[in-house]
Chains A and B, each alone.
Chain A
Amino acid sequence: MSGPITSESLSPATWQYRQLNARAPSLSALADALIELAEAGEPVAACTGDLQYSNGLIGFARRFPERMVQFGISEQNMVTAAAGIASTGMIPYAATFASFLALLCCEQIRTDCAYSALPVRLIGHHAGISLGFYGTSHHATEDLAIMRAIADLAVVAPADGAQLAAAIRATVRYPQPIYFRIARGHDPVVYPKNVAFELGRAIRHGEGSELTIIACGSMVHPALQAVTALRAAGRSVGLIDMHTIKPLDRHAVIAAARGSKALLTVEEHNVLGGLGGAVAEVLADIGGAPRLRRHGIEDSYSLIAPPTHLYRHYRLDAEGIEAVAREVMA
């Protein structure tokens, strides 16, 4: 086979797979948001470590090649260099798999970006167990806990492409570094285009006297579905999209604690140290809090399976979250 590949040169199934992968909506949202900002005159730049097709930054590279840096497979080098780029007045968005950012580059993020108070944007994509059967090396179920422990680093987990774009736009001039935790780019749509975003201000999707679910990132969509089903069954269940893990919207947590008999956090992350941990800390501070169930990966390494199978297994799909919610309310 020679020449460019067309739909005629491949079987329909192979072609369909290629098309699907070229169309990752959330991750094209990243490049699109950066292009928009660059066109508006913002000094944004992008860095990738041999993953520009996975994270969609190829789109930015084609439009602004002089603002894109390819670092190859050298993530630590990329993160420190992004700090250097930021020190000159540019705002670099450095992207790689969330597992590599949080675990391999932890020190570079802490010392070179956060401690140095440089406006580096760290884009951890394919977070949680979204890489399915690629296994634990590619899973990030510790990143929220790690990033949350780093002072002067904001931690944001958008629910879909629209919220990611909104978050990137809203924070472009934020003076300190931000870790954005995003999924694979096949995320179901939660929000309309141009949804509002305010760092540290959670989004309420209705209140509930029996239970408030607090979810972030990829878990917002299935949690919304679960809430819809529970309400249809006559249960009083509220939902908070806690898109900013740090600084956490304590007021939203406290209001939910006052208004609901129980709270349920849902995250594609270890139940230790992430969203559930952050909410538990707030509840411990206020005292007299309602029951809290932290739902996620129970301090273990994920099994291997296609992502949708894993979400079902770990009860992180709509049906699973609904079932856990019923347990909490029982």
Chain B
Amino acid sequence: MPSDAPLLSNSLSAAQIAHLEERAMFVRTETLRLIAIAKVGHYSSTFSCAEIFSVLYNDTMRLRRGEPRWPGRDRFLMGKGHAAVGLYPLLADWGFFPASDLDSYTRLGSPLGDHPDMRLVPGVDFSSGSIGHALSGGLGMVLGGRMQKQEFDVYVLMGDGEMQEGQVWAAALSAAHHKARNLIAIIDRNRFQLDGRVEEVIGIEPLPDKWRAFGWEVHEVDGHDVEALALLLRRLKADLTRQTPACVIAHTLKGKGVKFMETEPGWHLGYLAPEDEARVLAEITGKGDAA
């Protein structure tokens, strides 16, 4: 588990890898459980970034248990706020609020809605929902920290469809200009958005070239390989020579872990009846017949 003294070795033990994989599975099973309360939700968008959540909150980020407002903490923002259902269980895991609060997900007056709300949910560093704002918000946090001589890292998770929003590129341009070296953008490159394939809706390639052209250091990684993800994010955290912000393009599968969601688009927003939910749970956990 991370602490305020980050452990930045360049390898992970088998136990560490197993733990990160287990936490990713936890994100998926909790997502299933919570969406069953709402009876509609973003399964596949959350499954594609489950490993990213797991690695950030169990290996990369400097956080303090039970102290969601610790000023020195690393920050996390979600441009793709609709995947917040996968974040909430990890925040509860850090003791930012009681895990029993998760049971109120989306019910009348609950702090936990489809999109994350910093005003209501301890541990949520920035509210989101309207796609394209988060990178600007993250840049502001870096600049605000710099004014106060605080050197925390700021991680901004964005969807690949989000690259179509102009404010992302305004933020990218100004972050590079201001040498926001502790700003790390992670793009969940799952290749789908609501209306279909990203490349068919409004193509965004060549994506790495675009970020490089905007002055960012660019890395590509398998977004479901917890070891590769963790090592890359450790390297970026440890690299004090970098003068530019860094962009991690995480290649992922929308709906990862559930075969019919991986192979068939249209699960951006979905509902699973109890019997299908049980089937999906068995597939995710590897328990029982996934067919």
Contact = CB atoms under 8 A, between A and B. Distances in A.
Interface in B154-193: 167, 170-171, 173-174, 177-178
A108 B133 contact: yes
A80 B147 contact: no
Interface string A87-98: 111101000000
Query: Chain A CB within 10 Å — which of B118, B127, B144, B167 has the most?
Result: B144
Given A112-B127, A112-B133, A88 B150 contact: yes
B112 interface: no
Query: Chain B CB within 10 Å — which of A45, A84, A87, A115 has the most?
Result: A84
Nearest to B174: A71
A88 B170 CA distance: 21
Interface in B104-161: 118-119, 125-127, 129-130, 133, 136-148, 150
A45 B147 contact: yes
B98 interface: no
Given A116-B118, A117-B119, A90 B148 contact: yes
A43 interface: yes
Chain B interface, DSSP helix/strand/loop, else mixed: helix
Given A71-B174, A88-B71, A116-B126, A81 B139 contact: yes
A88 B145 contact: yes
A115 B129 CA distance: 12
A85 interface: yes
Contact of A89 (B136, B146, B148): B148
B19 to A, nearest CB: 30
B148 A116 contact: no
B143 A87 contact: no
Query: Chain B CB within 10 Å — which of A71, A74, A88, A111 has the most?
Result: A88
A84 B178 CA distance: 15
A116 B173 contact: no
Nearest to B125: A87
B174 A74 contact: yes
Contacts of A112: 126-127, 133, 137
A128 B144 CA distance: 32
Nearest to B165: A76
Query: Chain B CB within 10 Å — which of A83, A86, A89, A111 has the most?
Result: A83
A88 B137 contact: no
Interface in A40-77: 43, 45, 66-67, 69, 71-72, 74, 76-77
A84 B126 contact: yes
Nearest to A118: B118
Contacts of B129: 111
A118 to B, nearest CB: 9
A111 B130 contact: yes
B125 A43 contact: no
Given A74-B174, A111-B133, A87 B147 contact: no
Contact of B126 (A69, A87, A107): A87
B177 to A, nearest CB: 8
Interface of A: 43, 45, 66-67, 69, 71-72, 74, 76-90, 92, 107-108, 111-112, 115-117
